[in-house]
Chain A
């Protein structure tokens, strides 16, 4: 299954990469692969912008605008004037 093409904000600066492979470990969609001991983006369109790679890149070589890819969350965010929040509480009283 693949979502929309050419929308993802994922960026990698190979110059900063130390080759620790952490991004290949945490990515749930095999977006990265190792080329000559450096990370490279192999399947950009498979990225779901979860942000795991950016969080775990000690060198700060990766950037991505991460957030919930959830229409209900985005609508909630607009209605409440906050960021898209993935608050799937069923009863409205249980707000986090």
Chain B
């Protein structure tokens, strides 16, 4: 095999740097919709390396980004009429905040990318601008020590980059703050919805089959004629936990997500009772099941939320998980009993 020569090391200032547009095209928007629904989400990447927007020179700013295309796109579309370099580091196609948590958007990777792209030969200044949310993975003082480049943490949101630059690389307090408004919560719903789809199908299959139980054994006709109530409860509870709870998150009482979800689960079953004629035992059993499902999927939304801590989630799970398991068991037992008496 012929040894690979790294051209970048030989010709630091003149090697080809791909130019990217600051306008997103139809394909970019379509791609964003697809990954929001989980399709190809684990492979929505761009090649790590140096890119340019506009006509940057040796004085131009360097923005550092993750190689998740959604992160890269949100950066470049906010750099209109700015001449700048974009240093894309290899975060395995994961967004800025999550990859910072995993330390792939981290000190080591940034220093490596600076060296690999020979950044010191391309710009005369010694500063790089990082998204603020990369800070959990990056030690600014160590980047400086190891590469000579000073890290400037930009705003949380790329849309604030222009005012940030105009203010002399200073972010206002709101620019530094992570919020969790309705639009953000809504955007995260599809991925969560798809994440649990197999668990949903398993739960549906279980209540569907159990619907046919009878003192005489198993009746196919009974399964068909009585499955509507349990199936509505399972699908409804999934939606209550994964769609409704995130949407109205701040307005549901309780701080723990599992109790927020449980509340929505109870409300769901109470609502469905108005539509179906079923026995009390079946209502109670499905109440347990709805609470379990809605509480569990709502609890998982802690991962999407922007304000839950590890210690808090651990504390919540310590009692929430045993309560979910016992509710699931009680619900199933009561459901089976309701079919046999």
Binding site for B on A (CB under 8 A): 1-5, 7-9, 22, 25-30, 46-52, 55-56, 58, 65-74, 84-86, 88-91, 94, 96
Is B226 an interface residue when CB atoms closer than 8 A count as contact? Answer: no
CB 8 Å contact bits of B303-337 with A (1 = contact, 0 = none): 11111111111111100000000000000000000
User: What is the size category of the interface that chain B forms with chain A?
Assistant: 35 or more
Contacts of B101 in A (CB 8 A): 50-51, 66-68, 86
- Taking chain A's interface residues, is the majority helix, strand, or loop, or is none over half, making it mixed? loop
Instruction: Tell me if B92 and A48 are in contact (CB < 8 A).
Output: no
Instruction: Tell me if B194 and A9 are in contact (CB < 8 A).
Output: no
Contacts of B133 in A (CB 8 A): 28
Instruction: Tell me if A69 and B38 are in contact (CB < 8 A).
Output: no
Q: Which 6 A-B pairs have the closest CB atoms?
A: A70-B303, A52-B135, A69-B308, A26-B135, A67-B310, A28-B178
Contacts of B311 in A (CB 8 A): 7-9, 49, 65, 69
Smallest CB gap from B144: residue in A: A58
- Taking chain B's interface residues, is the majority helix, strand, or loop, or is none over half, making it mixed? helix
Instruction: Tell me if B137 and A28 are in contact (CB < 8 A).
Output: no
Instruction: State in angstroms the CA–CA spacing of A30 and B174 once bound together.
Output: 9
A-B contacts besides A22-B140, A71-B313, 13 pairs, CB < 8 Å: A1-B307, A2-B255, A3-B308, A4-B309, A7-B311, A8-B311, A25-B171, A27-B176, A28-B306, A29-B178, A58-B141, A65-B311, A69-B311
Instruction: Tell me if B153 and A74 are in contact (CB < 8 A).
Output: no
Instruction: Tell me if A86 and B98 are in contact (CB < 8 A).
Output: yes
Within the complex, what minimum Cβ distance (angstroms) separates A34 from chain B? 12
Smallest CB gap from A94: residue in B: B42
Within the complex, what minimum Cβ distance (angstroms) separates B59 from chain A? 24
Instruction: Tell me if A88 and B139 are in contact (CB < 8 A).
Output: no
Given contacts A88-B195, A94-B42, contact A69 B98 (CB under 8 A): no
Instruction: State in angstroms the CA–CA spacing of A48 and B314 once bound together.
Output: 12
Within the complex, what minimum Cβ distance (angstroms) separates A43 from chain B? 11
Instruction: Tell me if B310 and A4 are in contact (CB < 8 A).
Output: no
Within the complex, what minimum Cβ distance (angstroms) separates B152 from chain A? 9
Partner of B256, one of A4, A8, A29, A56: A4
Smallest CB gap from A28: residue in B: B178
Instruction: State in angstroms the CA–CA spacing of A91 and B39 once bound together.
Output: 10
Smallest CB gap from A23: residue in B: B135
Contacts of B139 in A (CB 8 A): 55-56, 58
